[in-house]
Structures are given as structure tokens and as C-alpha cells.
Chains A and B, each alone.
Chain A
Amino acid sequence: MRVKAHVPYLFIAPAVILFSIFMLYPIISSFILSFQTSTGGEMAFNGLDNYTRLFSDAIFLTALKNTFIILIIQVPVMMILALIVATLLNSALLKLKGLFRVAFFLPAVTSLVAYSIIFSIMLMNDGLINQILAAVGLDAIPWLSNPFWAKVSLIIAMTWRWVGYNMVIYLAGLQNIPEELYEAASMDGASKIRQFFSITIPQLKPVILFTVVLSTIGTLQLFDEPYTLTKGGPSDSTLTIGMYLYQTGFRYFDFGYASTIAYVIVVLIAILTAIQFKVTGDDK
């Protein structure tokens, strides 16, 4: 049976047209914008000026540093927790698996703004968390008003939101590991812990890479949480590249420079993803 040659193109046409207008065109357009500056309402080329300006822009460098600190701490903490929860949930001893799975996944369906608001109220100076700390005899922590603790708050909130999401992906991976591997290891007398490091982790490597790449991309674009939870403060300690881009573009309307910041994010994502593939030796 032969299908008329134009049929497949009709199927992809709506997607391709919309994609070209609202994705490809903006991507290219913002690349061009990143070499332009606005002079008297007109956009004019200024070569690499926007890019060189970045390196002497103290606020940008702070945002870059903050983003990386959050990335380096939050992603591994979240991955390890998600992996532990997934392993526990995959245990043959466990009943009510579905119920636990839903409980752990629920944070991942809430809007970033909604959960950030809940967390910022819980973490206020006289908020619930500090009251609990006081009840067990600990000092109150200036969660949102101290530069160090503000970052910690952000990391705690993000971890709460995303552990369940990554857990579901790991569960899928765990279910694909052949049971015989564990049986053989048990026969050889390997402990559960040993099996986890010698079978589970190596077998899950591609899935772990997938989640690390996704989380890295997500963290480099971080916007909703610091915007709601800390407003980037105190004293820019939780300002992220994503937030700085928003401020530059939509508070100061410097579209050229904002596009340059966007392209820094593009380049960072490309570099970090390439490194992650290289390190794990997976070059598919």
C-alpha cells in the first residue's frame, strides 16, 4: 500500500509552522538582538559589546555565581534523595506502593508560584519552621533575611518540589533492571547496600544522566522560586541568571543586553550537557 507523498507533511505541518513562528524565529531573533543595543529607540549593532559588558557587570557575575552554587548543591542532594525514595518504593516488602508514589509525586504538580508562597510563609521569622525549632530548643534561623540561609531556603524548597518528579523517572529505570542480577548477587552473598552500588547505580546510569541534564537545564533557567520566595534578596544573594534576564528585559527594557544574557544561558547549558555526557561516557 502506498501513501501519497504529501500526507506525512500534512500531519507535521501545524506543528512545524507553529514551531517555526514561535520557537525558531525567536531563537534566531534573540541571537541577533544579543549583538545589538538600543540607541534612541532604534536597535543598532554594537558587535561584541554586550558580551564584554557581562564580564565587568558585578550583578551578572553575582547572579552567575548564585546560580552555580544552587546548581552544585541542589541537584546532587535532590538526585540522591530521589534515588533513595525510588529504591525504597521499589522494595518487594512494600504494600500500598501506589499511595506512597502519589504522596511523593504531589509536590511536582503544584505551581512554582503557589509552593514558593507556602514556603516563604513557613520560613518567615516568626513562621512555623522557626516555631518548631524553638519547640525543640533551637535558635530561630533568619531563613529569608540572611544571604546564606536564603540560598538554603531556596534549595530546600526546590528539593521538596522536584524529588518526587525524579523519583518517578528512577522508578521506571529500576523496573527495567533484570531481577536475575540481584538474585545472582544475593547468591554470591552481596549485601543490599553492595547491590545498590554495584548493580542499581551502574544499571541506572543512562536514566541518572537524563535527570541530571534535565535538572541542570531547569536550574540554569531558575526564575519562579527566587522571584516569589526571596525576590532575589537579601542583597542579591538569591538573584539568578533567569531573574537578572527578566529584570534587564522587562524592568529596564534593555532587550539587547537581556538577549545576551539569554544566550549565555544557552551556551552554559550546551557546555554543561556536553560535559555530563563526556563524564558518564555516554556519547549517544
Chain B
Amino acid sequence: MKKNAPIRKITLYIALIIGALVSLFPFYWAAIGASNESGKMFSKPPTLVPGSSLMENISNLNAQIDLGRVMFNSLFTSITYTVLSLLICTMAAYAFAKYQFPGRKTIFTIFLLSMMVPYHATIIPLFKMMASLGWLNTYQAVILPNLAYPFAIFLMRQNLLAFPDSLIEAARIDGAGEWKIFFRIVLPSMRPALAATAIFLFMYQWNSFLWPLIALSSTDMYTFPVALSSLFGLSRIDYGQVMAGVTIATLPIIVFFLVLQRQFISGMLGSAVK
């Protein structure tokens, strides 16, 4: 077995490098498309190096969809959603993990079971509800529906179970109130888990498509996925422009992920197997 080690190692690296290239290539190609003239994507041989049309593509794109506005819509809804949902879900998760109270099991089970119900089963009543409230085409229509996200509650609860009860007890003996314990002692020590859940929530909202597609009707309210989809649905597609849009929409989420990926992956690793 020992003498095979170098060969095995080389095979391993070759397999992984090919896999990683396949994984990353579409991103690279989107960026190439964004920086070249529209037709270049179909030229023979294919263009695989950056061009000089990035600014032109972006300004063409900006003429179709108000980029600043779409970026604001996406960032505003995603950040607001992430902050509120993180707080609401962590509070609930903390109660499920650390308090004994009548109804605890039942309520938690209902949350878990709802993860099995497809999103589709809720969108029609949600649409009717938002319509009767006059909330269609508003930020709250995009932000509100999934704030109590059962998976986030589950994820945080799994992580909070590991928080030592003795610390909570000690704080109580010192006379700290329950909210103070939660905000001053528990939350600060849960930073990695909170980061993991935050990326999860941000990604979910940033990328969400079906509900915003239904809830939003005017271009000035569009989030990135809806704006991109409307652009791609035009009868004459400017590919350079579309790829510029795809690249700009993808960049923030990749940066956000790369900055927090250590916490994210360890958070996922920590919760998935319990």
C-alpha cells in the first residue's frame, strides 16, 4: 500500500482539480461574457479572455434596469430579513433549547413538520393576503413571510443545546434577568453559529425568486433575480448585458460567503449530523 501512495496522491489531485475547475468555470465564463461584446460569446473559437466592453455592458444594462435601485432593493430586503429573522429565530431556538415549558415539544414539532410542506402550498393564500392588505409590490411583502424560518430555528437550537447550562445558572444567581442573560451572555458566545445562520438566511433571501416574482410587479421594486429573469425574457437578448447582470448579482453573495465561509461550513458541519 505504501508504494502506491504517490500515484494515489497524484490521481487524487487531478480528480479534484478537474472537479474544482468544472465547479468554477461557469463563474469565470460569466465574467468573461460581462467584459466582452455581446456577440463574442458565440464567436469561433470561443472567447475565453477578458475583453474591454465591461463598462459598455454595464451602462447598457443600466439603461434596461436601474442597477442602483435593484442593488438597493436586493441589499435592503436581504439585510433587513437577515437581521430580523436571525433575532426572531434565535430567540425561539433559545427557548426551545434552554427552557422547560408546557407545549414546548408540540410547538417545536409543528415547526419541524412545516419544513416538509412545500413553499408552493403557501403562495396563493399569501398572495391573496398581501393583495387584501394592499401590500403587493412592497418591501414588507418580500421580507415578512418567511421571517420565522423553521430551518434557522432548528439550526440555532442544535447549536444552543451545546451552550453550558451552568453559565446560565451562574448568571441567574448573580441576579441577571433572562433577557440580559440572552443578549449579554448567550448571544456573544454564539457568534460562529450566528454567522453560519446569517449567511444561510442572507443567501436564502438574496437568491429567492418565486415569491418576489409573484409579489413584485413594478421594475423599480425588482430584486436581482426578478430583474435578471425579466431581462433574459426579452425577445432580443443582449448577452453581454445579461452576463454583466449575472456577474453583478452573483458577486456580493460570493464575497459575503468567502468572508464568512469558515463559520458557515463549520456551522453546517456542526448541525447536520446531530
Real binding pair: yes
Question: Given the complex, which residues of B lie within 8 Å of A220, measured CB to CB?
Answer: 118
Stretch at the interface among B12-20, B49-57, B58-66, B187-195: B12-20
Question: Given the complex, which residues of A lie within 8 Å of B129, measured CB to CB?
Answer: 25-26
A131 to B83, CA, bound (A): 46
A interface, size bucket: 35 or more
Closest to B173 in A: A1
A273 touches B250 (CB 8 A): no
A261 to B89, CA, bound (A): 30
Question: Given the complex, which residues of A lie within 8 Å of B117, measured CB to CB?
Answer: 23, 27, 266, 269
A171 to B269, CA, bound (A): 7
Question: Given the complex, which residues of A lie within 8 Å of B203, measured CB to CB?
Answer: 109
Whether a CB of chain A sits under 8 angstroms from the CB of B126 is: yes
B interface, size bucket: 35 or more
A258 to B121, CA, bound (A): 9
Question: Given the complex, which residues of A lie within 8 Å of B146, measured CB to CB?
Answer: 22-23
Secondary structure of the B contact surface, majority rule: helix
Whether a CB of chain B sits under 8 angstroms from the CB of A140 is: no
A93 to B101, CA, bound (A): 50
Closest to B171 in A: A1
B12 touches A91 (CB 8 A): yes
B207 touches A131 (CB 8 A): no
B contact residues vs A (CB 8 Å cutoff): 1, 5, 8-9, 12-13, 15-16, 19-20, 22-24, 26-27, 29-30, 33, 41-42, 44-46, 88-89, 91-92, 94-96, 99, 101, 104, 107, 110-111, 114, 116-129, 144-148, 150, 153, 169, 172-173, 178, 182, 203, 206-207, 209-210, 214, 224-225, 228-229, 232, 239, 242-243, 246, 249-250, 253-254, 257-258, 261-262, 265, 268-270, 272-273
A contact residues vs B (CB 8 Å cutoff): 1, 3-5, 7-9, 11-12, 14-16, 18-19, 22-27, 29-31, 33, 85, 88-89, 91, 93-94, 98, 100-107, 109-115, 117-122, 124, 126-128, 131-132, 135, 160, 163-164, 168-169, 171-173, 175-176, 186, 207, 210, 217, 220-221, 223-224, 227-228, 242, 245-246, 249-250, 255, 258-259, 261-263, 265-266, 269-270, 273
Nearest 3 CB-CB pairs, A to B?
A111-B207, A15-B92, A11-B95
